[in-house]
Amino acid sequence: MSLRYGLRTFLLELVMVAAAVAFLFPVYALVTLSLKDKQQLAASPLSPPTSPTLGNYSDAWSRASLGSALLNSTVITVASLVVLIAIGSFAAYFLARCATRLGFGLYVLFLLGIVLPFQLGMIPLFKMVDSAGLLGTYQGMIVFYTGIQLPFTVFLYTGFIRALPADYANAALIDGAGHLQAFTRVVFPLLRPITGTVLILNAVFIWNDFFTPLLYLGGSARETVPVRIFAFVGQYVSDYGLVFAGLVLAALPIIVVFLVLQRYVIKGFASGLKG
Amino acid sequence: MDGARASGGRAGGGRVRSRRRRGGFLTPPWWFAAPAVLVYALVVLYPSASGVMYAFTDWNGIGDRSFNGLDNFQRLWQDDAARGSLTNTLLLTVAIVVVQNGIGLLLALGVHTHIKSRAVLRVVFFTPAVVSPVMVAFLWKYVYNPAPDAGLNGILGAVGLGSLRQDWLGDPSLALWSVAGMVVWQFAGYSMVIFLAGLEGVPAELHEAAMIDGAGRWQRFRSVTWPLLAPSVTINVMLSTIGGLKLFDQVYAATSGGPGHASETLSTVLYKQAFVYGNYGYSTAIALVLALFVAAVSLVQVYYLRSREVGS
């Protein structure tokens, strides 16, 4: 904890940078292999590419139909987030401000959902979605994500609202506003910090989720990015250049968004789970 | 909006006194919670309750289902592959919790200093955590490639450690630990970020006071930093335990539980029982066991680890 940059700090810096280099080896392999054609791959897989080619990238983009998969992922993620935040924040506002046993009971019921593994209801829910004709649709996934992520969303919002003075909303109500108006115009804007956290944590979860979209969307035209990549890798498993170009393209959107918003994302991950 | 106010007023008409004691017209109306409760009941509560019920039946998706008491659980206990998956799940979880949080703590302590690269390193170590676990698993399938000149084996050969080359995912005694390794790689930075938030909350004055009292580095860590990190430890241990118990994507994408049943976990077994063999009753019984594990671990950790935290 010394304040100047001494020898000790310098040595630590070396150790940490060496650790980062070792840590990044898989990423180096990923990018290097994706830039090589078959001959170069066969000759020396891990050496830096002598004549890098983007051929794998255009092949992977079209063969995995990544364009449509990205569109599906975007629609499902954005729509789920909108519904989650809308109904989650309303519910949390009621739970945080209602001092009755009903309010407390409902809150505990929502907390239960954080602990329950979704596998417990997996088969009954699959049957329900199937008989409702929602397999292979956006709607099925949006309802699923809303339900499965509500406990966590309600938990975060309720904790935040409890710490917020009720005075602002009360002033609006006394001035004659309705509850709907008081919440949307006065309270909801005050929730911005926690809405950011809710948005980030849920977006990362929904965008990357694999198991349920595999069950509900596998083989349909609505496959999300992880499901499409899963099928793509299965088909071209031995062609590492092509597979890795597909992985880079599929991972790039979320990595770019993360790098742009990294301060908020890291803060969201670090704080969000304390409630 | 006027309608909302009017109906709120009407509902309170007969019970003005009792409502006023609880905050009266200032309390939001119950229907604020209605849509969320409805969706939650439909997607989580009702299916989970049905799941608990099916766990005690011989349901296979076609024809009738009848209650068979504890048969499914007995089967889980007697079936070697399934019992192995229980052991594997616990081993995998312990390995992930210990190694991921150990490395996460070291990274956090290293980054929470005056080194110049600290901002970059924080981003570098955290980035894998935002990528889909399935994609990370496919990347690591290459890292674990058994060919001598590929992936990790290639590196080992290049630095003269060729004798350590392994068939990382193909060797039954190694596959489970290799899966743990890729999970640790992906989420050590996540643990680091939570520890960093904890470290930033340790007041510098306490360190200075300890230094004046002549405490060395290790002593300061042991008696100042570590006790104050307790909340971060609680969160990290809970998150990685629950994540480890439920782990599915990485195992499914990297080994599908193989070779043989060497890396099978509760999640992969219950998936196969449901969607490969159609044993719905048995599959939900395994899911119930998993749920009980997760619930038990969460409760124990909340009580035990909280008691270690410094009261504020």
3-state DSSP of A229-257: HHHHHHHCCCCHHHHHHHHHHHHHHHHHH
Residue A205 DSSP one-character state: H
- Measure in Å the smallest separation between the Cα of A166 and chain B Cα atoms: 9
- Along the 275 residues of chain A, how does pLDDT read in single tens digits? 445 678 888 999 999 999 999 999 999 988 988 898 887 877 777 788 887 888 889 989 999 899 999 999 999 999 999 999 999 999 999 999 888 888 889 999 998 888 888 889 999 999 999 999 999 999 999 999 999 999 999 999 998 999 999 888 888 888 888 889 889 999 999 999 899 989 999 999 999 999 999 999 988 999 999 999 999 998 888 888 899 999 999 999 999 999 998 888 888 888 756 43
- Measure in Å the smallest separation between the Cα of B173 and chain A Cα atoms: 23
- Tell which of A143, A228, A266, A273 to mutate to test the B interface (max B CBs under 10 Å): A266
Confidence (pLDDT) at B309: 64
Q: Which chain B residue lies closest to A203 (C-alpha atoms)?
A: B130
Q: Do B28 and A98 touch (CB under 8 A)?
A: yes
Over residues B266-277, the mean pLDDT reads 90
Confidence (pLDDT) at B188: 95
- Measure in Å the smallest separation between the Cα of A72 and chain B Cα atoms: 16
Give the global pTM: 0.88
Q: Which chain B positions have a beta carbon within 8 Å of A113's beta carbon? A: 40, 44-45
- Tell which of B27, B43, B298 to mutate to test the A interface (max A CBs under 10 Å): B43
pLDDT digits (tens, 9 = 90+) for B96-141: 999 999 999 999 999 998 888 899 999 999 999 999 999 999 999 9
Confidence (pLDDT) at B16: 41
| % pLDDT > 90, chain B | 39
Q: Which chain A residue lies closest to B278 (C-alpha atoms)?
A: A123
- Measure in Å the smallest separation between the Cα of B68 and chain A Cα atoms: 18
Of A88, A128, A259, the CB nearest to B36: A88
Q: Which chain A positions have a beta carbon within 8 Å of B29's beta carbon? A: 94, 179
| Beta-carbon count within 10 A of B165 CB | 18
Q: Which chain A positions have a beta carbon within 8 Å of B224's beta carbon? A: none
Q: Do A177 and B298 touch (CB under 8 A)?
A: no
pLDDT digits (tens, 9 = 90+) for B227-238: 888 888 888 998
More confident site: B91 or B206? B91
Q: Do B111 and A16 touch (CB under 8 A)?
A: yes
Within a domain: residue B200? yes
Decide if pLDDT at B190 tops 80: yes
Decide if pLDDT at B9 tops 70: no
Q: Do B1 and A169 touch (CB under 8 A)?
A: no
Domains held by chain B: number: 1
Confidence (pLDDT) at B22: 47
As a whole number, the mean pLDDT across chain B is 84
Of B142, B190, B271, the CB nearest to A240: B142
Within a domain: residue B21? no
Of A12, A23, A117, the CB nearest to B294: A117
- Measure in Å the smallest separation between the Cα of A120 and chain B Cα atoms: 5
More confident site: B164 or A274? B164
Confidence (pLDDT) at A85: 97
Within a domain: residue B64? no
pLDDT digits (tens, 9 = 90+) for B107-118: 999 999 888 889
Please give the residue range of the domain that contains residue B164. Answer: 79-308
Decide if pLDDT at B2 tops 70: no
Confidence (pLDDT) at B191: 94
Confidence (pLDDT) at B7: 39
Q: Which chain A positions have a beta carbon within 8 Å of B115's beta carbon? A: 9, 12-13, 16
Q: Which chain B residue lies closest to A239 (C-alpha atoms)?
A: B142
Within a domain: residue B33? no
Within a domain: residue B241? yes
Decide if pLDDT at B70 tops 90: no
In chain A, residues under CATH classification 1.10.3720.10 are 60-272
Within a domain: residue B13? no
**Contact A185/A176 with Cβ under 8 angstroms?**
no
Of B51, B116, B130, the CB nearest to A258: B130
Confidence (pLDDT) at A82: 97
Confidence (pLDDT) at B10: 39
Confidence (pLDDT) at A14: 93
Q: Do A124 and B267 touch (CB under 8 A)?
A: no
Q: Do A117 and B26 touch (CB under 8 A)?
A: no
Confidence (pLDDT) at B310: 55
Confidence (pLDDT) at A41: 79
Q: Do B122 and A266 touch (CB under 8 A)?
A: yes
Can you tell me the distance from the alpha carbon of B72 to that of A274, in angstroms, rounded to the nearest whole number? 37
- Tell which of A115, A123, A155 to mutate to test the B interface (max B CBs under 10 Å): A123
Can you tell me the distance from the alpha carbon of A38 to that of A53, in angstroms, rounded to the nearest whole number? 11
Homologous superfamily (CATH) of A60-272 is MetI-like (1.10.3720.10)
Over residues B252-264, the mean pLDDT reads 88
Angle at B156 between CA B153 and CA B159, to 5 degrees: 150
Q: Do B43 and A143 touch (CB under 8 A)?
A: yes
Confidence (pLDDT) at B3: 37
Within a domain: residue B152? yes
Confidence (pLDDT) at A3: 58
Q: For the domain that residue B250 is a member of, what is the CATH number? A: 1.10.3720.10
Within a domain: residue B3? no
Residues contacting residue A218 through CB under 8 Å, at least 6 positions apart: A227, A231
Q: Which chain A residue lies closest to B131 (C-alpha atoms)?
A: A251
Prediction ipTM score: 0.88
